Amino acid sequence: MRHVTRMSLTTSIGLMAIFAVDFVDMIFISMLGSDALAAAVGYAGTLLFFTNAINIGLSISAGALVARALGAGRPEQARHYASSVAVLGLTVGLVTSVLVLLNLSFLLSLLGAEGEVLRLATRYVSIILPTMCVMSIALVAMAVLRAYGDARRSMMATIYGGVVNAVLDPILIFAVGLGLDGAAIASVLARLCMLAAALWPALRMHRGFARPSLKQVALDLGPVRAIAVPAVLTNVATPIGNAIVVREIAEYGTDAVAGMAVIGRLLPVAFSVIFALSGAIGPIIGQNFGAERFDRVREAFLAGIKFTAIYVLGMAAILFLLRGSIADLFVAQGETRVLIYLFCGPLALAAFFNGVIFVSNASFNNLGHPVYSTWINWGRHTIGTWVFASVGSTLAGASGVLLGQAFGGIIFAAISWVLVARVVSRLERAQAIDPFAEQNRLQSLFGRRGW
């Protein structure tokens, strides 16, 4: 529990820096006095979330493979895995950016953007999206740092990016007078800073990357693809679920979409620790899996669930007490204010079930069952979102959309918990009948020390 807490809190500090800057972005944009600007950021954020989900999926494969190789005492293989995923991330980032930019107006229109909001969202995305490959390599480098147990340097990379963004935002938005373009340019420069701050210590302190080689990438493609493809599909499901919700919310007007945009910025700030938990617990589970310590795999999973419950209860209480001040901060009126109050009430408690899904997916990815996390996430963000959000919309309008989405999360959190218990039990039974299990543990122990 102490290990899970330390890794989660250090990782979350860096994430909170980035999310807090996004939150401040929204405050600055609200100060410009236009609901269209806030709505444009909401639509653009949904599309950018989709592209970033691909990067996160690739970084998950890097973290899982590197941690497993280190746990099994194979540091050279760990370096090759890291380099192969970085090359694939660069390639996928370039191709995806081009494809999305060529169809940008069409994709934003599918989400419900139109008129002036569509024009603003298109311009905002056009500035940020070309740096997708930069963000991909930065996330892979941070995953490698966490796999080596270096959560502090991984955290500092995101903090440096957040500081750059926070300093440049008011300068570019107000002082230079660039408005929404200034917010986008600040985000681009922050991404470049994160890349430098993550890649340098991964190379210098841990020698975490081998020299890139197309031949080595081809050799590593099998194990990388086995985790990366399901992990990418798993993470892509989240923005698709968000797109379904935004589409449903759009029927209730610009102020409802603006409320969703505020919630989209407030949610990761309040629950960055839960987001960080999934990235922090993966290396712990991966190394113990590589060392065949399945008892500690189970302990780590349960510690993650307990940590989630404690944090969510505390944060939900804080949000409830501050709900009026938060709404006033954004000068929220009408439907925007109603949705913010809803989030700072029952929806905040529902974050526990999202945390259970995050911890379960990290477990699946590091225990050799990434397809399980794919099915869980797609089920949660398609059937578990569309069906219940539609019913909620019919019964309670815009608020019902968010309540229906939360109810679907409860169902799939329970399913994921049961599946993790089955996977770990199966591993423990296989070890119990393996006459060489103790020998394998000793080999792993000595291998990590180079003997």
Per-residue pLDDT of the chain (451 residues; tens, 9 = 90+): 887 877 777 767 766 766 666 677 777 777 777 778 878 887 888 788 788 878 888 888 898 899 888 888 899 999 999 999 999 999 999 999 999 999 999 999 988 888 888 999 999 999 999 999 999 999 999 999 988 988 789 888 988 988 888 899 889 988 898 888 998 999 899 999 999 999 999 999 999 999 988 999 999 988 888 888 887 887 778 778 888 888 888 888 888 888 888 888 788 778 888 887 877 787 788 878 877 788 888 888 998 999 999 999 999 999 999 988 888 887 778 888 889 899 998 899 999 999 999 999 888 888 888 888 888 989 998 999 999 999 999 998 889 999 999 999 999 999 999 999 998 888 877 765 544 444 455 455 455 444 5
Per-residue model confidence (pLDDT) at position 272: 80
Per-residue model confidence (pLDDT) at position 113: 83
Per-residue model confidence (pLDDT) at position 432: 59
| 145 within 8 A of 284, measured Cβ to Cβ | no
| 230 within 8 A of 374, measured Cβ to Cβ | yes
Residues composing the chain: 451
214-239 as b/e: b if 16+ CB within 10 A: eebbeebeebbebbbbbbbbbbbbbb
Cα 50 to Cα 40: distance, rounded to the nearest angstrom: 16
For the chain, give the longest Cα–Cα distance: 71
| 67 within 8 A of 283, measured Cβ to Cβ | yes
Region of residue 368 (phi > 0: left; psi between -120 and 50: alpha; otherwise: beta) = left
Per-residue model confidence (pLDDT) at position 193: 94
Residue that the structure tokens 């639509």 belong to:
43
Main-chain phi, psi angles of 114, to 5 degrees: -155, 160
| 97 within 8 A of 132, measured Cβ to Cβ | yes
Per-residue model confidence (pLDDT) at position 448: 47
Residue that the structure tokens 């990357």 belong to:
209
End-to-end CA distance of the chain: 30
| Entry pTM | 0.69
Burial classification of residue 329, based on how many CB atoms lie within 10 Å of its CB (0-12 exposed, 13-18 middle, 19 or more buried):
middle
Task: Could you list the beta-strand ranges (E) of 199-289.
Answer: none
| 61 within 8 A of 231, measured Cβ to Cβ | yes
Distances from the Cα of 217 to the Cα of 36, 42, 382, angstroms: 45, 37, 33
Cα 223 to Cα 221: distance, rounded to the nearest angstrom: 6
Per-residue model confidence (pLDDT) at position 58: 87
